[in-house]
Structure 1
């Protein structure tokens, strides 16, 4: 298949939706002779921050001279974003080849009477094949959904990372924090250390699971700590103390109070790696943090007006986004271009993010799961609310309402962010 044929193949698979379970991916990888066993890995889950933390860890490995792959989801613009080696996306030709190779084993599964693998399972297997084929030493693997039954959970990592736990995907992971925490803790493996910033009931479940698996646990505010030291030249200064593992102070190229915590998780994970790998040293960690990029997460686009792009898509992410807006732009009027998926906690996101003094233009993300602009607008109590006919019209209208000295924030869904970035940077 060429790239266009590969996209059509994946689009056809997407109709099978999300179907959690391990049997299909395990059989697929068995037929492929287990490419996931040909490199070491770090496994990252969490309600929020797992993508940023994954990016930081990959950057640290690259700065340390360690050839590494990074697997993330979803993509903002194109599928190749999901598979990266040493900071470089897989080419479209390589992507098509990896998926085509994987599809042959999918066909064999179907002939043998197995259930059709999902799109995400095929992509995960293709990523593992690609990383093995190009000879990465490490891969940083972000969980797609939950952890316990996620198709990435076939790996036995060197370290398991759980950034935090709040309510999400309640239709699949359960309706309580305890239910979600059990899914996140599902990535914990026998004897494999765990680094986490989880709190409260979720942390208790993670600790209990780790004890059952004889896995050491490194907990933020217990074994490691972080402190925001200031904001200068578009970077924030962070100080991280991981006790006996080490401590350092560094510039961080990703803005936001939540990224202070995420960087502490990433640095502690790296310092834990450093106990067995002398290539990972404070200098390479600091170099990585000062240059790492993660688009669409409190991404600041200078101009008139300034535009903030953030994929906050659950109440906790919305709360953190609001904190960041208030911290970085104190006293400024915020105009939102807001789009949310219907199966998300729409009212919870709005409650945490929008204030009555704000101006809001609602838009529809590019997903069949998207709430309409009118549906979102009905939920909002703000100074001014209107619905836009398209994402581009919504962004243009938000800029008009904000004026040249205002702040526009595009938020609510990762399915909105990719299209929004293309529109904003094109203009």
Structure 2
């Protein structure tokens, strides 16, 4: 396949949508000789922060001299972002080859009478094949949706990570915190340690599930903590105490209060691995945190005006984004370029993120699931609200309204910020 043919193939698969279940991915990987068993893995789920935590763990392992794969979703701009080895995205040619290889086994499945695998299942299988083919020793695997019935849940990891649990994907994972936590806890495997920053009812359910599987739980505030020590040179200084596992102070190249918690989860997981693998040292951890990048998550782009890009796409993420804006830009008025998917909690996101003194330009993310700018604008009560006909026009208008000394924040959907980054960085 050429890359263009690969995109056409995946676009055709996308019409099958999201179809949770394990039978298709299990059969596909069986036909492919179980590539996911040829490397060690760390499995990461959670409502928010799973991407940042995945990036930090991958950076730590790479800094330790370990050949490391990272699998994430969705991508911001292009599919190869989803498969990374030692911090480098795979090429379009490598991505196409992996999908083409996997497609042969999809054809075999269909010939056997199996149901068509989804786009995410095919990409997941292709990622496992690619990581095995290039000989990664570890792969940090981010869950796509939920956990229990997610196609990544075929792996038996060295560590399971559940960053946190709040309401999300209620149409697929249930309408209560307990329902969501049950899906997240579905990644817990027999005897495999669990690290989590979940709280309350969700934490109790995670602990019960872990107890049934004889898996030790390391929970925030009980087994590890993190403290903010200041901002310097565009980084935040953090102090992480993981009890008997060790303590570390580091400069974290990811800004925001939520990254204090995410970094503590990642460091605790790394220290657990470090207890059995001497390559994972305090120095490697500090070096990794100092350089780790996670584009589109409270990403600050200097200029006139300064622009923040953040993929906050649920009320909890929006609340954290607002807190970080107030922390980093105290007393400043914010001009938003805001785009939200229709199947998200639009009212909840707006309630947490937008204040009456703000200025908002609504835009439409690049997704068939997107709410129109007019639909979003009708939900907002702010100093000034208007709808834009295109993302680039919306960003330009937000910059104009903010003025050269202002602050612009592009937020609301991961499907928005990928396009927004391209527009902003290419100007």
TM-score, normalised by the number of residues in structure 2: 1.00
Report the Cα distance in structure 2 between the residues aligned to 1:380 and 1:246, rounded to whole angstroms. Answer: 47
How many residue pairs get aligned? The number is 427
In structure 2, the residue matched to 1:96 is 96
In structure 1, the residue matched to 2:81 is 81
Report the Cα distance in structure 1 between the residues aligned to 2:307 and 2:207, rounded to whole angstroms. Answer: 40
In structure 1, the residue matched to 2:105 is 105
Report the Cα distance in structure 1 between the residues aligned to 2:413 and 2:317, rounded to whole angstroms. Answer: 10
Q: Deviations over 1:247-291 (max 9, x none)?
A: 100000000000000000000000000011000010000000000
Deviation of the 1:133 alpha carbon: 0.1
In structure 2, the residue matched to 1:331 is 331
Q: Deviations over 1:20-57 (max 9, x none)?
A: 00000000000000000000000000000000000000
In structure 1, the residue matched to 2:353 is 353
Report the Cα distance in structure 2 between the residues aligned to 1:161 and 1:228, rounded to whole angstroms. Answer: 22
Report the Cα distance in structure 2 between the residues aligned to 1:239 and 1:280, rounded to whole angstroms. Answer: 18
Q: Which runs of 5+ in 1 are unaligned?
A: none
In structure 2, the residue matched to 1:365 is 365
SS at match of 1:251: strand
Deviation of the 1:2 alpha carbon: 1.0
In structure 1, the residue matched to 2:244 is 244
Please tell me whether residue 176 in structure 1 is matched to residue 176 in structure 2: yes
In structure 1, the residue matched to 2:386 is 386
Q: Deviations over 1:38-79 (max 9, x none)?
A: 000000000000000000000000000000100000000000
Report the Cα distance in structure 1 between the residues aligned to 2:405 and 2:382, rounded to whole angstroms. Answer: 20
Report the Cα distance in structure 2 between the residues aligned to 1:332 and 1:163, rounded to whole angstroms. Answer: 31
In structure 1, the residue matched to 2:167 is 167
Q: Deviations over 1:376-395 (max 9, x none)?
A: 00000000000000000000
Please tell me whether residue 214 in structure 1 is matched to residue 214 in structure 2: yes
Report the Cα distance in structure 1 between the residues aligned to 2:297 and 2:128, rounded to whole angstroms. Answer: 26
In structure 2, the residue matched to 1:4 is 4
In structure 2, the residue matched to 1:409 is 409
In structure 1, the residue matched to 2:200 is 200
What are the within-5 Å matches in structure 2 for residues 2-401 of structure 1? 2-401=2-401
Report the Cα distance in structure 1 between the residues aligned to 2:97 and 2:13, rounded to whole angstroms. Answer: 17
Report the Cα distance in structure 1 between the residues aligned to 2:344 and 2:184, rounded to whole angstroms. Answer: 19
SS at match of 1:59: helix
Report the Cα distance in structure 2 between the residues aligned to 1:120 and 1:289, rounded to whole angstroms. Answer: 29
TM-score, normalised by the number of residues in structure 1: 1.00
Report the Cα distance in structure 1 between the residues aligned to 2:426 and 2:134, rounded to whole angstroms. Answer: 33
SS at match of 1:147: coil
SS at match of 2:231: strand
SS at match of 2:218: strand
Report the Cα distance in structure 1 between the residues aligned to 2:3 and 2:402, rounded to whole angstroms. Answer: 40
SS at match of 2:187: coil
Report the Cα distance in structure 2 between the residues aligned to 1:211 and 1:57, rounded to whole angstroms. Answer: 25
Report the Cα distance in structure 2 between the residues aligned to 1:267 and 1:111, rounded to whole angstroms. Answer: 46
Report the Cα distance in structure 2 between the residues aligned to 1:173 and 1:48, rounded to whole angstroms. Answer: 15
SS at match of 1:186: helix
Q: Deviations over 1:77-135 (max 9, x none)?
A: 00000000000111111100000000000000000000000000000000000000000
Report the Cα distance in structure 2 between the residues aligned to 1:247 and 1:173, rounded to whole angstroms. Answer: 36
Deviation of the 1:182 alpha carbon: 0.2
Question: For the aligned residues, what is the CA RMSD?
Answer: 0.3
Deviation of the 1:313 alpha carbon: 0.2
Deviation above 2 Å: which 4+ runs of structure 1?
none
SS at match of 1:160: strand
